[in-house]
Amino acid sequence: MYEKLLSEGKIGNLTLQNKVIMAAMGVDAAEPDGKAGQRVSDYSEERAKGGVGLIITEVTRVNDTHGVALGGQLSMSNDSVIEPFSKMVEKIHSHGTKIFVQLHHPGRQNLSAIAYSWGMLQRVGHIIPGFWDMTYAMGQLADASMLEDPRVEAMMKLLPPVVGASNIPAGLGSSIIKGQNTRGLMTWEVKRLEKQFIEAAVRVKKSGADGVELHGAHGYLIQQFLSPYTNTRTDEYGGSLENRMRFLLNILTGIKKECGADFPVSVRLTVDEFYNLLGFENRGIQLPEGVEMAKRLEAAGADLINVSCGNYETLNTLIEPMSFQPGWRTYLAKAVKEAVNIPVAGVGVIRTPEQAEELLESGNQDFITLGRPLLADPHWVNKAKEGRAQDIVRCISCVTCFMTDEQNALKGEPCECALNPYNCREITYNDQTRKVDGNGRTVVVVGAGPAGLTAAREAAKRGFHAVLFEKEAVPGGQLNLAKKPPKKDRMQWAIDDLTQNAKIAGVDLRLGTEATPELLKELAPYAVILATGGVPVVPKIEGLDGDNVCTVADVLSGKVNLSGKKVAVVGSGLSGLETAELLVEQGNTVTVAEMAKSIAPGVWTQHYWDIVPNLDKAGVNMVPGHKLVKVTDTSVYLEDVKTGNLKIIDVDAVVLSLGVRSVKDLESAAKTVTTRISTIGDASHAGKLVEATRAGCEAAWAL
């Protein structure tokens, strides 16, 4: 089973125990000074325990002056980091796994406030006890939306510019970096950076790690030199492909000279920037030139081409949301594989061992690179090896990991996974810290949505008799609605995998059974965890009791079927936008009304760019800055929040997407049987999937 996937692989003279490579991902789990502390070490070791052949660390900085990208980013910029990192290397090696360090500079894809302040903060942090606690406490008040605040943008312009190959600022398309003054590096600075990359690789070798990867992808500095769009230099580093590759090739050959020809060097390479998806034809790196770059890297001594694509401006091509199909990038790896003789690794929504084995059998790539799947399930490889592929928690491409990595950056917290609350928190949640003291005592969990399934699973792992009641005939809760819009069917994976792992843990799952006060008294539970969900909010506005008014839940569940109608969707959060997309697919003419000044307030940029352009193309009428004040049989009345002027739009139906109200009906009954009551998920407050699973885990661990 999975013969190719689980067979040994070779990178140069290095032998891996299998052909699975853990991709470098910025998870923000290192110490503030870039050292490898217990948190990042435990996170990495868990994946080594899970059987992966090679771990490539998260983006690791080589320069502290303008090269810091994340507060919790690993560093190889000075000798003080070698010893702590070597301890992490020893842990990884103890499980038969190899480790590379990905060397990185963000270039223009950075914030001045991070790039230029972090070095100073590090120095202060070494002097003042508790400094980082105070700093991160202030960071708790920060929010990613602050970057769009005009006052913050104005402040950023007063800071030194971020650096790049040239003075081409980021900010097109879905880029999360906007409004940053950018300057091109001077020639002497480029040469100094080459030296810093090489010196960092020497430190990696001294640490005992097995190799390095040069990050020439995803829009960071090396790629900025490679791309004809971001490199407009007129010196020896600009113009022709030979010149644009000079920075990368000088680093590569320098590493080989200083570390030895047998010290493996991988290059993560964007072979297509996909600017055509933003409407810019013939811009940036395109596949034929990307393939030529790979050939020249092979000639210069690279040992592995780790094929990737895109940059922050085409973000959805490199960290795909659900709309991208499994294996869609295969043709990119194939094109490189046909042109080089060194090993080729590839990513691209690879989610199951079966799919991975097929890719290897095709001969289009030599290694399988997994990123997010190993956040969702660190033991992906071992489960495949043990014939338990059905137990793998599959990544659903919800992009929560990247979103939370950015949102947590100033808070001293790492990224999160919507389906794995242990992710990057293995220092807290592990087999040693888990108390197995349930002693068969009964814990009742009400509601088999993601919060309830997680809570029941974790309670069962602790040795409790976890009884999970779900009044519907199927588990999943709100996920059963979330899977209905176009291209959101992967939500069913979440339902299936959460349910499967609850059953494996020993949860007594009772579907089609409503938890009544009588049942609670009969079971006399030690504790009750209420995950009873929520119901749509319907405000008191004239006309909302009409027959032509429904909620997104009514549409998504199929209770209300609309076709060939003029429909107004009120509320442009993610649920409203996804429902609008479904309504368009069903043949309706759609208007989306939003009280906020812009459509999709609070919606993560990747979800925005995955949905809103489709709605625009479909001719959906977007009406931001208007609140609903009245509905009639034939119209909606929308009031301009600034002027008070009314806009009347003819419609046949109105669909409300105005949030969720928590259901707490069983709280009183639960109080009659136990004092140990937790209310989680939407039953506590409306939230995202990641908040539900985290709350379920925390409730069970707190018993």
Residue 231 CA neighbour count, 13 Å, CB half: 28
* Pairwise CA distance, residues 197 & 30, whole Å: 19
Give Cβ neighbours of residue 603 (< 8 Å, ≥ 6 apart): 572, 573, 574, 577
Beta bridge partners of 308: 270
3-state secondary structure 670-690: HHCCCCCEEECHHHCCCCCHH
Nearest alpha-carbon partner for 636 in 700, 541, 560: 541
The single residue of 2, 43, 220, 526 carrying the catalytic annotation is 220
Q: Do residues 12 and 264 make contact, with C-beta atoms less than 8 angstroms apart?
A: yes
Q: Do residues 583 and 486 make contact, with C-beta atoms less than 8 angstroms apart?
A: no
Would you list the DSSP string of 197-239?
HHHHHHHHHHHT--EEEEEE-TTSHHHHHH-TTT----STTSS
Q: Residue 344 has which token pair?
A: 């080729």
Q: Residue 686 has which token pair?
A: 């409306």
Nearest alpha-carbon partner for 31 in 86, 90, 72, 76: 72
Give Cβ neighbours of residue 396 (< 8 Å, ≥ 6 apart): 322, 376, 418, 419, 490, 491, 493, 494
Pairing relationship of beta strands 635-640 and 626-631 according to DSSP bridges: antiparallel
Assess whether 220 carries a catalytic annotation.
yes
* Pairwise CA distance, residues 449 & 404, whole Å: 22
DSSP, collapsed to helix, strand or coil, labels residue 41 as helix
* Pairwise CA distance, residues 428 & 290, whole Å: 43
Q: Compute CA distances 624 → 580, 595, 628, whole Å.
A: 15, 6, 11
* Pairwise CA distance, residues 415 & 421, whole Å: 10
Maximum CA extent, the chain: 81
DSSP, collapsed to helix, strand or coil, labels residue 351 as coil
CB atoms near residue 600 (< 10 Å): 23
- Quickly list H helices, 35-130: 38-49, 82-93, 112-125
* Pairwise CA distance, residues 443 & 466, whole Å: 5
From its phi and psi, is residue 58 left (phi > 0), alpha (psi between -120 and 50) or beta? beta
Q: Provide the annotated active-site residues.
A: 220
